[in-house]
Amino acid sequence: MQAPRAIVFDLDGTLIDSRGDIVAAANHALVRSGRDALLAATITKLVGDGARTLLARASRLDEASTSALDALVDHYTEYYCAHPLDFTRWVEGALEALEEIRARGDVKIALCTNKPRRITQAVIDGLDANRYFDATWAGGDSPDKKPSPGPLRVLGKLLGLSPSEFVMVGDGPQDVLAGRAAGCRTVGVVSHFLGSTRLLEARPDIVLESMAELPSVVRRWCDATARLAAHRDP
């Protein structure tokens, strides 16, 4: 297998612990629409498939309920963009992993998140993290979303690479399923959002308990493949 040429990261639960801000924005939207706020643990379990799906589940509205759900999404987005980092922090080991992988110089780094583009950009700007990513796909950038392989194919075009050269890193089944469908190697990272059950059911190539473990995996895959290629040279 060829050496990875890009590491693609999910955002929520993988790189950042954003539970507090997601809960605050979701409950703001629910209350503004005349609904009851929900427990943080309830909302957290609904995360991963984008804001519209999150709010449809939280409000028990059908995603086709255009006007009512549109209003919820608008309230959520406006509040979240105004409060992108009230509670959000880097996941332990995530920033160090980005720094170490960036320092290698032989692999690109991309972001692939179902989080809406406006909110994603507000969070990334606030964290001063734009410098880490060579390309970003966020919710709404194209019609489909993870677990479809479409977002990874878009990133392939942006980076000038085949998704088969990617490693997809995420904490949710949608990350692993998107990566597998696109032909990527997949790394599952156990997070506080979903735990391990659904992640393991998606069958990632490798499962990590911490983002701190990722640089050694990348190093092993890149260096082992390079040694194999060198051994085969005449």
In this structure, are residues 182 and 152 in contact, taking their beta carbons and an 8 Å threshold? yes
* The two three-digit tokens of residue 29, written as one number: 């939207």
In this structure, are residues 157 and 150 in contact, taking their beta carbons and an 8 Å threshold? no
Q: Which of 10, 141, 171, 175 is catalytic?
A: 10
Sequence-separated (6 or more) residues with CB below 8 Å from residue 208: 187, 188, 189, 190, 214, 217
Sequence-separated (6 or more) residues with CB below 8 Å from residue 212: 92, 93, 96, 97
Other CB atoms within 10 Å distance of the CB of residue 47: 24
Q: How far apart are the first and last CA of the chain?
A: 19
DSSP state of 168: E
Residue 175 bears catalytic tag: no
Which amino acid is present at 168?
M
Give catalytic residue positions.
10
